[in-house]
Structure 1
Amino acid sequence: MAVVTVTYSPGEHLEHFISTLATATSEKPQVILADNGSNDGVPELVADANENVTLLRTGGNIGYGGAINRAVADIDPEIEFVLIANPDIRWGTDSIDELLAAAKRWPRAGALGPTVLEPDGSRYPSARRVPGLADGAGHAILGTLWPSNPWTLRYRQDNEEISERNVGWLSGSCLLVRRAAFDSIDGFDSRYFMYMEDVDFGDRMGKAGWHNVFVPSAEVTHAKGHAAGKHPEAMLPAHHASAYRFQADRHPHWWQAPLRVALKAGLAIRCRLAVRSALRERDRAAGTN
């Protein structure tokens, strides 16, 4: 097994990532830091301090999926599993060993994902259904105003039993990927700069005949959204652009052009409203500190 994470000035998160990794597995895996242009010096410090950590400079900010693909291409093809995770993950005890054990139980598992916890200990819905147009639109429009709406519940699978099972897609914040499966679908689609690349990855994995397996017995904690909260004016447009790409790719025919136009216009309006709201919230929070 090898571990890959993408770094972009990760700060103290990366040090926690490496220190808790020792409790997550009995192995001492090779760790590759696919660095997209950090300027805080942390990836260099971590690589220098840990003999099993390699710093791989991608040559610029090439996006999350592109950086993962670049790192995986450097891994010995004989390595069967690649653990892909964000640098702000903190590993739970035996979490990686639990994922590896599940991979033996599911020989057609192309990707396996753990329970992802928020910093406050609440459970993040990391195992979801692939969003169709109806579920995606319903969740996008009503998810914030009416969290319990039927489209959001169906998409997030909130009412599903917490059990080890095959799902539509798994959060890219932490994925154990079978190398053969990764190679069979050519890895991540590097056209996604950030966001939705994991939805696309899981969807293509399933269509290729592999399983996306949720493994609740493995637990990690994710400091989710710290970058998005600081820079909503950049992150939210990227999110909406990826959402459009995902649906446009799945509705490519000429007679579906009006649908693509409507989708693009609707997402543009939603993006402007979301950015405005996020900036107000950020300013309000800054004013109270």
Structure 2
Amino acid sequence: MSTANIKLAVIIVSYCNAEDVDRCLKSLARSDWNHLEVFICENGGEAAYRGLLAALVGPDRTLQRSSDASDTLDQPQKRLAAVAKCRFQDRTNAVRVGLAVENLGYGGGVNTWLEPLLAVPGWGAVLVLNPDTEVDSRSLSELIAKSAEGFGMVGGSLVFDNTPDKIINYGLHWSRMTGRVVAVGRNAPIGSAPSVEDLGRIDAVSGACVLVTRAFVEDVGLMAEDYFLYMEDLDWGRRRGKHRIGFASKAIIRHIGGTTIGSAVAPEKRSHLSIYLSARNGILYARRFAGWRWICHFGVGLLFAARYMLKGSVPAAKVAFLGLLDGAKGKTGRPDAMPGAQELG
């Protein structure tokens, strides 16, 4: 299958992190793939949206405003209060910056653009990309080439910015027995590829950088939104049905990680919001996909909560326990009524 004419839609969800978005866009501007358009959803409110445009658009910035706004995607959508159509300074590719009507979470931010895209012909794949990532110049073409081999969900060599010689994971595996999420291939050398056995264990590609084909989206549907943050990538992969997961080892993506809510640190130093959502959503996911075993997963979660206490972080242990309880109660969405929820605006 030829990939030459595949049009790629790149979706980035922002939350008050304009500097990350700008760095990510600069890397996309260096890509060897020409057939792409970028769609940004700012979840942080009007002030964050204005700040994002100020950081991105201008004579000495990464983007310039486009005078043509005749496309339906250039207009506010049902969950986008405003849309600014732009383009790269040195490329004609469109970059649309949208303001979400409220903080929709990660899955909701992705779907805010993905849903209207389903009604638009022409594009063949979508790349969901964290704002705190940078793609190598060949990454997009490598991901698309792998998808053309018959893979509906494709990942690349995701590496931490400070250890670019080691892979964060080939993909994610969810243990049906314990409910823990395992990073398959953690710390494997850059340039390596998963074995057949490892590839068979992968349940999903990390949402930090995941390419899915249009056929995948049309068959599987949109990202789950009720997790708000964490586990939506595993949920998407779990629902993939006939669509196979592939890995493009030459697609290099640098990932800083956790810049928005403080998850890219040692477990005992993570933000309470990150701890809560991880605990709650692990149980929500288990209730959907593990049947009665979710009760066992709850027990394992209690052990992890106790670990925080043993490390001297009693508040973190309490937050983890609260997350487990709320997951058992089936609570979903934005956690407005917990300590630290103000971080979400």
Structure-1-length-normalised TM-score: 0.78
Question: Which residue does 1:132 correspond to in 2?
Answer: 175
Q: Residue 212 of structure 1 aligns to which amino acid in structure 2?
A: I
C-alpha distance in 2 between matches for 1:129 and 1:158: 10
Identity across the alignment (%) = 21
> Counterpart of 1:82 in structure 2: which amino acid?
V
Contact kept in structure 2, 1:111 and 1:175, CA below 8 Å: yes
Letter in 2 for 1:90: E
The partner residue of 1:44 within 42, 53, 77 is: 53
8 Å contact kept, 1:115–1:218: yes
Pairwise CA distance, 1:84? 0.8
Q: Is 176-185 or 161-170 further displaced after alignment? A: 161-170
118, 125, 134: which one aligns with 1:90 = 134
Which structure has the higher relative contact order (CA within 8 Å, separation 6+)?
A: 1
Whether contact under 8 Å (1:33, 1:53) holds in the other structure is: yes
2:126 counterpart letter in structure 1: V
2:157 corresponds in structure 1 to 115
Q: Which residue of the partner structure matches residue 11 of structure 1? A: 18
CA distance in 2 between partners of 1:5 and 1:114 (Å) = 17
SS of equivalent to 1:80: strand
Aligned match of 2:184: 156
In proportion to residue count, which structure has more helix? 1
Q: Which runs of 4+ in 1 moved over 6 A?
A: 271-275
Alpha-carbon deviation of 1:89?
1.0
Instruction: Tell me how far apart the structure 1 counterparts of residues 312 and 229 of structure 2 sit (CA, whole Å).
Output: 17
Aligned length: 258
What is the aligned partner in structure 1 of residue 275 from structure 2? 236
Q: 1:278 to 1:43 in 2, by over 3 A?
A: farther
Q: 1:262 aligns with which of 275, 290, 299?
A: 299
Q: CA deviation at 1:7?
A: 0.8
Contact 1:233 1:275 in 2 (8 A): no
Match of 1:179 among 214, 217, 226: 214
Please say which of residues 15-24 and 32-41 is displaced more in the overlay: 32-41
Alignment of 1:218 onto 2:227: no
Larger CA deviation: 224-233 vs 54-63: 224-233
Unaligned stretches of 5+ residues in structure 1: 140-151, 280-289
CA gap 1:95/1:212 in 2 versus in 1, 3 angstroms: same
Q: Measure, in 2, the Cα distance between the counterparts of 1:24 and 1:126.
A: 23
Deviation at 1:57, TM superposition (A): 2.1
Q: Quote the residue 2:145 is aligned against.
A: 101
Report SS of the residue matched to 1:163.
coil
Q: Which residue pairs with 1:246 in the alignment?
A: 285
Which secondary structure state, in structure 2, belongs to the residue aligned with residue 229 of structure 1? coil
User: Structure 1 pair 273/236, CA: closer, same or farther in 2 (3 Å)?
Assistant: farther
Structure 1 residues 274 and 200 mapped into 2: Cα distance closer, same or farther (>3 Å)?
farther
Whether the aligned pair in 1 keeps the contact of 2:153 and 2:244 (CA below 8 Å) is yes
Distance change in 2, residues 1:80/1:238 (3 Å): same
Partner of 1:61: 103
In structure 2, the CA distance between the partners of 1:113 and 1:134, relative to structure 1 (3 Å rule), is same
Letter in 2 for 1:103: S
Residue pair 2:283, 2:294 contacting (<8 A) in 1 also: no
Q: How does 1:67-78 map to 2 (within 5 A)?
A: 67-75=109-117, 76-78=120-122
Q: Deviations over 1:136-188 (max 9, x none)?
A: 45x7xxxxxxxxxxxx6xx5344989226643221111111101102211121
Superposed CA RMSD: 3.0
Q: 2:242, 2:96 → 1: CA distance?
A: 33
Q: Distance in 2 between matches of 1:80 and 1:274?
A: 48
Once residues 238 and 109 of structure 2 are traced to their aligned partners in structure 1, the CA distance between those partners, rounded to angstroms, is 20
Q: Secondary structure at the match of 2:30?
A: helix
